[in-house]
Amino acid sequence: MILLFMITFMLGMFSGAAIFMLYGFYQVKKMRKKAVGLLAKIDEIVAKATSETEAKKDSIKERLVKASDIARLQMDLKSQVEMPSKNALHSRHKNGIVYEIKELEQE
């Protein structure tokens, strides 16, 4: 009788340990699937963010180049305005240059 009790006790202990381990493996497998899904989502978000950042960098570069061109043109026009007028026609031309400078400043 004691032998039968010992056998059932040991069988219960081993089956309990086996069930505990199998449930643990099941939970780990489930977590790994979630982790893979989350990593895929993170990769998509990072790819999207980097593409947006690159687009913004290109936009900023284009605007800086345009601003540089406008500044260079303004400096050229100001140097022409600062020169003394030769005659009335030249004065009218200088007035047009002053108007262009004002337009560039607004831009």
> How many structural domains compose the chain?
1
The pTM (predicted TM-score) of the whole model is 0.42
Judge whether 100 lies within some domain: yes
CA 61: distance to chain centroid? 16
- Residue 15 pLDDT more than 70? yes
Task: Answer for the pair 100, 74: CB distance below 8 angstroms, yes or no.
Answer: no
Judge whether 89 lies within some domain: yes
Look at 91 and 53; give whichever has higher pLDDT.
53
Judge whether 20 lies within some domain: no
Beta strands in 1-107 (DSSP E): none
In whole angstroms, give the CA distance from residue 75 to residue 59.
Answer: 24
In whole angstroms, give the CA distance from residue 13 to residue 39.
Answer: 39
Question: What pLDDT does 93 receive?
Answer: 64
Judge whether 15 lies within some domain: no
Q: What is the pLDDT of residues 20-57, one digit of tens each?
A: 999 999 999 999 999 898 889 988 888 888 888 777 77
Full domain range(s) for residue 82: 50-107
Judge whether 18 lies within some domain: no
Average pLDDT over residues 95-104: 71
- Residue 84 pLDDT more than 80? no
